Structure 1
Amino acid sequence: MTTTVDETRRRLGRIGAVLMTPIAPAGEWRRAAKRVEDAGYGAIWTNEAIGGREVFTQLAVMLAATDGIVLGSSIANLWARHPAAMQGAASVLADAYPGRLALGVGVSMPAMVEQSGQRWANPMARMREYLDGMDAAVDAAPAPEVPFPRLLAALGPKMQELARERADGALPAAMPVEHTRRVRERIGGGKLVVALQPAILETDPAAARETARSTGLLSMPGSPYIRSLTELGYTEADLEDGGSDEVLDACFARGGEESIARRVRAHLDAGADHVAVSVLAPDLASAAGLYERLAPALRDA
């Protein structure tokens, strides 16, 4: 019997692309999404803030602008909406576009939550409660003909265990290849592992690392990435001042097209079902251009 996990593996393919930029007109999103689809990627992933750009609206715009590519949230922030609204929105899109939605849900970071005027709470307890709310709201919208997969943004072991228990898989982001290997070991072969890999198309190592540091990945207050990297053996010194060269090279793929493709292959070899490449670009048109440039190398990954 074919499961949601099996069907999602087939539909996603091995390589996806992340479109993740500040607010832009809908026309720019439509054009960028179509360019990514035409370049041969299996999925497009996008995120949201708490307030401002809203992930289900963006997914709807891109679903309507494309023909068959899967659209996924990476992530839909549980602090941005009631669990019944999350379940209902995902169900409506999955009903309208059968087999083309993947729902990634995450808890965000303390600083982002508090900036929105909410109070940060224990992320594990919050996620469990939220999933209970989603499950209780299955009648919030018509059940889609093709069920959508539910993935959890799972950096740490406890969230990965919850992903194994309550979801179709895990959606870790910006982590070294060794992290992907450990995620696969924890959640087993019957679940999805979707690894989001930031990529900097820059052959000058110093320039690429400076770009990586400028993202603030390791300098945000309460960053969950710091704890996960510590669990992988990185030291306090590695994680200071935006990250050492070693840790940045582990978290960010850099170099030319073949270098990026090698990192993607490493994640796949470590147990990822699908790697979503996230190029760093100033706007959607530039991002689409970089994905077109990368596509030939990634096809062989």
Structure 2
Amino acid sequence: MSESTNGASTVKEAVGRYGVWSVGLRSEDPALRGEIAEAAAELEQLGYGTAWLGGSSAPRHALPLLEATSRLTVGTSIQSIWQYEAGESAAASAEVESAHPGRFLLGLGVSHAKLAEQYRRPYSALVAYLDALDEAGVPAGHRVLAALGPKTLELSRDRAAGSIPYLVTPEHTARAREILGEEPLLAPEFAVVLETDPDRARTLAREHLAMYLALPNYTNNFQRLGFTEDDLSAGGSDRLIDALYAWGPEDRIRTRVNAFLEAGADHVALQVVDNTPRDHLPRTPWRRLSALLH
């Protein structure tokens, strides 16, 4: 594949086909630094191409993982533009890139009105943030955007290496690919519940989904995908849950994950949903997923 203006071809090679998404991997607890490094080394051995640092992470959170590995790509998913100034972000990204060339991706997003007091005109703010990164010398090919709607997907195409949509379906992936075109990276996150019992799996999924059902950026996107107000009520309909989460026997989970690739994704970032705290490192489930996907 020929090199694109934003370096997307190089990024696609770096991220690999599968990655993991985890809030725990960005922990700043000194007691967990050793475990994070150990987990990163194992993820690389298991064949994952990328570790995505969940929550509003920053470039510094990538260092323990990069230092413990030789090939693993690490990305923020996402860094909120409201939490870190563009100049600060540019300097931190340049430092990480200098120490570990080609292995860090700055994932950016506008977060949510309920989570950022200064939330105003998010699209315009994101454009201004990208302008500032350009002025500071951060290459477009070193950043990706958490895009759900058409305008931000277009921005991902024109001003970044691609998009890292969160809490989406293969149908969204197909629409996103149409907007992005062939070259840009498309790397959706997808949640997996390693349970075969429907009631147990859906209960865990609903517990995980609850906070997102209060955020209009997500619920608006669900409705663009054809879900109704009824689907969004009472913790989410079975139809919504089954579209957003993979559960069941291993062959079914494999099929669900790979449906994103068939719809046009280059990479799938897998988030394990279970009954442990969000900052837990689900290393046994990561091993199981690697075994069924690789």
Q: Which amino acid aligns with 1:275?
A: V
Residue 256 of structure 2: aligned partner? 263
Tell me, in whole angstroms, the C-alpha distance in 1 between the residues paired with 2:112 and 2:249.
Answer: 32
Tell me, in whole angstroms, the C-alpha distance in 1 between the residues paired with 2:66 and 2:22.
Answer: 13
Asked whether the 8 Å contact 2:60–2:92 carries over to 1, the reply is no
Q: Which amino acid aligns with 2:285?
A: L
Would you say 1:68 and 2:88 are equivalent positions? no
Would you say 1:38 and 2:45 are equivalent positions? yes
Q: Specify whether residues 276 and 287 from structure 1 end up closer, same or farther in structure 2 by C-alpha distance, changes over 3 A only.
A: same
Deviations 1:50-103 (A, max 9, x none): xxxx43222011111112111111111111110111122112111111111122
Pick aligned residue for 1:243 from 236, 249, 259 = 236
Tell me, in whole angstroms, the C-alpha distance in 2 between the residues paired with 1:98 and 1:64.
Answer: 12
Residue 219 of structure 1, CA deviation: 4.8
Pick aligned residue for 2:82 from 70, 79, 83 = 79
Mark the runs of 5 or more structure 1 residues left unpaired by the alignment. Answer: none
Matched-pair identity in %: 35
Pick aligned residue for 1:8 from 11, 23, 28 = 11
Mark the runs of 5 or more structure 2 residues left unpaired by the alignment. Answer: none
Residue 138 of structure 1: aligned partner? 137
What does residue range 1-301 of structure 1 map to in structure 2 within 5 Å?
2-3=3-4, 4-21=7-24, 23=27, 24=29, 25-49=32-56, 54-113=57-116, 118-138=117-137, 148-217=141-210, 219-281=212-274, 282=276, 286-299=281-294
Asked whether the 8 Å contact 1:217–1:225 carries over to 2, the reply is no
Q: Which amino acid aligns with 1:44?
A: A
Tell me, in whole angstroms, the C-alpha distance in 2 between the residues paired with 1:48 and 1:218.
Answer: 13
Tell me, in whole angstroms, the C-alpha distance in 1 between the residues paired with 2:128 and 2:271.
Answer: 30
Tell me, in whole angstroms, the C-alpha distance in 1 between the residues paired with 2:165 and 2:260.
Answer: 11
Q: Which amino acid aligns with 1:192?
A: L
Q: Which amino acid aligns with 2:112?
A: M
Asked whether the 8 Å contact 2:192–2:246 carries over to 1, the reply is yes
Asked whether the 8 Å contact 1:28–1:285 carries over to 2, the reply is no
Deviations 1:125-180 (A, max 9, x none): 111111111111128xxx8xxx8531110011111111112111111111111000
Tell me, in whole angstroms, the C-alpha distance in 1 between the residues paired with 2:206 and 2:212.
Answer: 8
Tell me, in whole angstroms, the C-alpha distance in 1 between the residues paired with 2:20 and 2:99.
Answer: 22
Count of aligned residue pairs for this structure pair: 285
Q: Which amino acid aligns with 2:55?
A: E
